[in-house]
Chain A
Amino acid sequence: MKTIIANLKLYINLNSWFFFMMLITLIFFNIQVVSDQDSNEQLIVGSFMCLPFFLGFMASIVLIDVMNKPFSFCLPGHRQNVKKVLMIMAVLVGLFFAFLMCYLILDRMQLACFSSIFFATLVFFLIGAELNMFARIICALIYMMSFFFFTYHYPFVILGRFILEHFLIVICIGLGGSITVWRLLDSPGLARRFCDNPKWMSFLNFWSNEKMQKLNRYKETFQKEKSKLKINPSVERFFLNKMNSHKYFSAGRYIWGSLYQAFSLPFSNFHPVNLLILLLFIFAFCYWPRYFWMVFLMLPMGMAMSIENPVYSNMMISNGRRERYKCTLVTGMVNSGFLVAIMTIIILFSKFAGLFMPDLKLSGKTLVYHAISFQLILIPLVAVPIALIFRLLSRKNNMLAVFPMLCFYFFYIMSIGAQKIFDRNVNINEISLIMNLYSIAYLIIVWIIFVLVLRQICFKKSLV
């Protein structure tokens, strides 16, 4: 088999479901945009450019994964395949998109228009691939930003207008960009950059505990080292005093110990500026009420998952399985308590700010400020145990614990997209209504499940 065919075959990989999930999310978002009442061809073309960008990102991830394998560095002619595979895919995606837009959507089969869309797609595909190879974080930010643009369409409209009206410039940019990328991918240092470097291990390794542990070790050694986060002596003193106020080998001492492990770092490094940034972020969502509940779901889940899990601690202290059970339970509950307190502060701020926050006008749209409803406070209480359950089930593979968040995200976007397809307006109150009716039941059920899972793991399973 030729190396290039072997490389292309890698894309048919069962683990790639994650990318397809993200891609479908994006497609549904696009559908959501183009089915808006004020959608026009400029918006359609502009918004659909997110897709080749993300496809380029995906394509390069697989190639990075191959280059990450130490043996591939030595394979004859292998390093040359990266640019060939990327270019073949970019051209195919470009042709497909140009045909899709010109023939099916715009109904304008002109050579200039076709070429312009083709080269624009090519450039976005290659930018996606290049950014992933050289500045992955920017790629992720652009992916997230694109969702904001789906609400505030104007950047897409500008992009679409540029592609449809300035054919020659777009073609020139496309040609110039392709040549530049080709030359960049020709660099001899490219394979060396990725070879056996855990930092560049891709999402395809989500399921491999061994590889994730390798990544975690790498992070511990090289990344956390740079971090300046430290435990404040007064925080340390507080927790050690609390531990010492309980008898040796008593549950209280272990519980305070696990709280020390879980919260000493966030407490020590809490800065009011962080809260201010969080509040500003939340207030942005107050003009975008459809996504309130997502923030209220993602934020606590993310926070819950970042807290140290006492169950699987391999560091030997004299806590038995029963103590680990109690510690994890209490840590989970305290975690929820803190999150509810933070959320309450945010809601109170949003209510207070509602008294004077004006309506905004953006690209012809009026954005109305909505204070956050107190009903949403139940979401963190439901979200935290779900996150903790996944954290427990995914053991030390933190990436796996992200899975529920992705699923929520995916199904939510899918549901909105589906509603658009079936020509129904999204009714935010429906979601609120579900929360009202069943939230208490959800709350009880998820906490019971959490306790059951925790008991099962603490008393019946291996703890390493």
Chain B
Amino acid sequence: MDNTETIIQVEKLSKRFGKKTALDRVSLDICRGRIVGLLGSNGAGKSTLLRHMIGLYLPDIGQCNTFGCNAGELSPEELGRIGYVHQEGELLPWMKVEQLIRYVSTYYPNWNHELEERYIKNFKVPVSSRVVTLSPGERQKLAILLAIGFDPELLILDEPASALDPIARANFLDLLLELIQDENRTIVISSHILSDVEKVIDHVVIMEEGGILLDCGFDDLCEKYSKVKLNAMSDKLPSKLPFENIIECHRTDGQAILIVSDCSNEELKEKAQQLDCWIEIETLPLEELYKIVVNQHMSAVGA
């Protein structure tokens, strides 16, 4: 299959709920095989955007196409290629877990019973319990199983691990790593646990106040920003450091920790040599990168 094929295409999509603008002219393309991390603060519009992708919401303006179809008009065949885990974890509370799995699996011709059994064993899903008696974490595990059980081509995960305990979260990450082995599978994952997300994603979309602040490859984002530690070899560091695009600077006379953007490692090393400094360059974790992007946006808006 063609991995440059766009399977989700969002174009100038706007959505309002009463007076609140949830999405404001959002445009986004998601190609097949990508693992997209959708990040943003509470109320940024992540869940609203995800719900548009599967047609639960209809745009006020603009459009959202999934698998080349208007998302609001997706047929069962197309929806049968999409797995969706939502943050509320709504299931049928009166059913037993095994009954619910049987019921949901009846809708899908390609239900993977081997995966189901393995998942139930690994995640210790209590099959004979009633759904209503499950803890939020157990419910979320069940919701994940129901979303992946039919090997969907597109997996949309809206805060999938928020209620999971650390061990279940680690298992879930392993499962995601297993799922992404299929190169044709596209995953869109929205989460606040960025340390988890960064292990699996290859693309980042950062949202804020209903708009997209950043849409780029994860590697590109990591390369864009660097954390630089400078130690003066002999004397003090100069009062003005000769780096461009400094975003943050914490320094003493002989030491400085900088966050810089758009500087290659070679450039940084060269400048450190000129200053007679010892330099250490680190890649920033996703959480730091996220904060930088959002803070830059905030200061731009404030200015």
Interface of A with B (CB < 8 Å)?
220-221, 224-225, 227, 229-231, 236, 240, 243-244, 248-249, 253-254, 257, 260-261, 265, 313-323, 459-464
Contacts and interface: CB of A to CB of B under 8 A. Distances in A.
Given A225-B130, A315-B104, A320-B75, 12 more contacts: A220-B93, A224-B93, A224-B94, A229-B94, A231-B94, A231-B95, A249-B75, A314-B56, A315-B91, A315-B92, A316-B146, A320-B55
Contacts, number: 102
A248 B132 contact: no
B152 to A, nearest CB: 10
A279 to B, nearest CB: 26
A329 B73 CA distance: 18
A17 to B, nearest CB: 22
Contacts of A224: 93-94, 132
Given A261-B92, A319-B76, A248 B108 contact: yes
A464 B107 contact: no
Given A460-B58, A462-B58, A317 B132 contact: no
Contacts of A316: 54, 82-86, 146-147
A317 B58 contact: no
Interface string B133-158: 10000000000001100000000000
B103 interface: yes
Interface residues of B, number: 41
Contacts of B130: 225, 230
A228 B106 CA distance: 25
B76 A320 contact: yes
A303 to B, nearest CB: 17
B94 A254 contact: no
12 contacts: A231-B99, A236-B99, A240-B102, A248-B107, A248-B109, A313-B90, A314-B86, A315-B146, A316-B82, A318-B80, A462-B51, A463-B57
Nearest to B47: A464
Nearest to A269: B94
Interface in B64-98: 72-80, 82-86, 88, 90-96
A459 B51 CA distance: 15
Contacts of A229: 94
B58 A461 contact: yes
A464 B55 contact: no
Contacts of B86: 314, 316
B96 A321 contact: no
Instruction: Pick the 10 closest A-B CB pairs, nearest first.
Output: A249-B76, A318-B80, A316-B84, A318-B79, A314-B90, A248-B109, A462-B57, A224-B132, A318-B76, A463-B56
A38 B280 CA distance: 99
Contacts of A236: 99, 102-103
A253 B94 contact: no
A199 B248 CA distance: 49
B159 to A, nearest CB: 14
A322 B77 CA distance: 13
Nearest to A221: B132
A220 B90 CA distance: 11
A249 B93 contact: no
B106 A240 contact: yes
Given A248-B109, A464-B57, A319 B79 contact: yes
A49 to B, nearest CB: 42
Nearest to B88: A314
B264 to A, nearest CB: 44
A462 B107 contact: no
Nearest to B69: A320
Given A318-B80, A320-B73, A320-B75, A253 B107 contact: yes
Contacts of B72: 321, 459
A229 B96 CA distance: 11
B58 A254 contact: no
Contacts of B90: 313-315
Nearest to A253: B107
Nearest to B15: A462
Given A315-B91, A315-B92, A321 B102 contact: no
Contacts of B133: 225
A287 to B, nearest CB: 37
A230 to B, nearest CB: 8
Interface centre among B78, B92, B146 (most CB of A within 10 A): B92
B80 to A, nearest CB: 4
Q: Which of B74, B84, B103 gathers most chain A CB within 10 Å? A: B103
Nearest to A222: B132
A257 to B, nearest CB: 7
